[in-house]
């Protein structure tokens, strides 16, 4: 569990985390649009 604290300082880890977060946001936006058209 100590390794996670070090990963938070790692720019690659942060960039991957942000990219994953954006994927989730886009996914939820697509689901909302599909619900509108249903």
Across 6-28, b (16+ Cβ under 10 Å) vs e yields eeeeeeeeeeeeeeeeeeeeeee
Q: What is the pLDDT of residues 1-38, one digit of tens each?
A: 455 666 567 888 888 888 898 999 999 999 888 887 76
Q: To which residue do tokens 């989730």 refer?
A: 24
End-to-end CA distance of the chain: 44
Residue 12's alpha-carbon distances to 15, 16, 20, 26, in angstroms, are 5, 6, 12, 21
């Amino acid at each position: 569990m100590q390794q996670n604290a070090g990963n938070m300082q790692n720019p690659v880890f942060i960039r991957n985390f942000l990219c994953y977060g954006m994927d989730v946001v886009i996914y939820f936006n697509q689901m909302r649009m599909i619900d509108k058209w249903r």
